[in-house]
Amino acid sequence: MKSFQVKKGHFYALGVGPGSADLLTLRAVKVLQEAEVIFCPASLKKQESLALKIISPYVQEQQIRVVSYPMQKNSSQTWAHWQKIATEIVKLCEQDKVVAQVTLGDPLFYSTSCYLLSLLQPLLKKKIHVVPGITAFQAASARFNLPLSLQEDSFLLLPGSDVKRLEKALTCCETLVIYKAGKNLKSILDLLEKKGLLADTYLVAYVEQEEEYLVHQPSPDIKLPGYLVTIIVKLGHKPWTESENRT
């Protein structure tokens, strides 16, 4: 088994999972404990950082930088903000610091880390490391003891921003996962009700967090705050063919 060493002057993008500190990987904990500077995301609306709350059991003397990450779709403003953060990280690495950035879920999956990594890659090159984390949809399926895909099943994941796109997706897979469904929750559930799929629908809000909410066969009139809602729709099952069973 390849050993993992935390190195001075290197940058680590850490996935801290959906919300519970005990879902961090051993590697993530190792990096946190040896990091000298940790960047934690916070939205511009909320200055508190959920990622920081998750890692708090592993934080002692590390320098914590809570950074408000831009969420608006104005690309010039957004990239200027990311560039400023990237410049700070490069300077810290040049000072031989161990620098980490934590993000909910996995760093390479609908994550703020993706924007930062694209800017750091040409500057730090082989001094960048990604530590994977448990995603919200994995945690959600675990909370329901619900297998996501078996045998020849296809799996599709989409954001909840385009309901027409979601309607088309219902015919393209055996399992559909809808991320960030909170903003269009009523429209999405109305669609699933119209298609007769509510009995096959599993909804989780704020999975593995204090305000976690789980429901199988949700009502279209359900009201939940925020957008951190994940919906899993089990549309069917595609078993192995007879020829595959023989081999």
In this prediction, residue 77 carries a pLDDT of 76
Cβ-contact 208, 189 below 8 angstroms = no
In this prediction, residue 241 carries a pLDDT of 80
Query: How many residues make up the chain in this entry?
Result: 247
Strands (E), the chain: 11-15, 37-43, 63-69, 99-103, 128-131, 155-159, 175-179, 201-205, 213-216, 229-234
Mean pLDDT score across all residues of the chain: 92
Cβ-contact 155, 177 below 8 angstroms = yes
The single-letter DSSP state of residue 36 is: S
SS3 114: helix
Instruction: Tell me the pLDDT tens digit for each residue of 4-23.
Output: 999 999 999 999 999 999 99
CB count, 10 Å around CB of 29? Answer: 17
Instruction: Tell me the pLDDT tens digit for each residue of 53-69.
Output: 999 999 998 999 998 87
- Topology, domain 11-134: Cobalt-precorrin-4 Transmethylase; domain 1 (3.40.1010)
CA–CA gap between residue 198 and residue 235 (Å, rounded)? 10
Sheet hosting strand 155-159, strand order edge to edge: 155-159, 175-179, 229-234, 201-205, 213-216
Q: How confident is the model at residue 228 (pLDDT cuts 50, 70, 90)?
A: confident
In this prediction, residue 45 carries a pLDDT of 60
In this prediction, residue 46 carries a pLDDT of 60
Work out the average pLDDT over 144-159.
Answer: 96
CA–CA gap between residue 137 and residue 145 (Å, rounded)? 12
CA–CA gap between residue 163 and residue 202 (Å, rounded)? 17
pLDDT at 169 over 60: yes
In this prediction, residue 44 carries a pLDDT of 59
Q: What is the pTM of this model?
A: 0.90
In this prediction, residue 131 carries a pLDDT of 98
What CATH number is given for 137-234 in this structure?
Answer: 3.30.950.10
Query: Domain residues of the chain, as ranges?
Result: 11-134, 137-234
Instruction: Tell me the pLDDT tens digit for each residue of 115-126.
Output: 899 999 999 999
pLDDT at 224 over 90: no
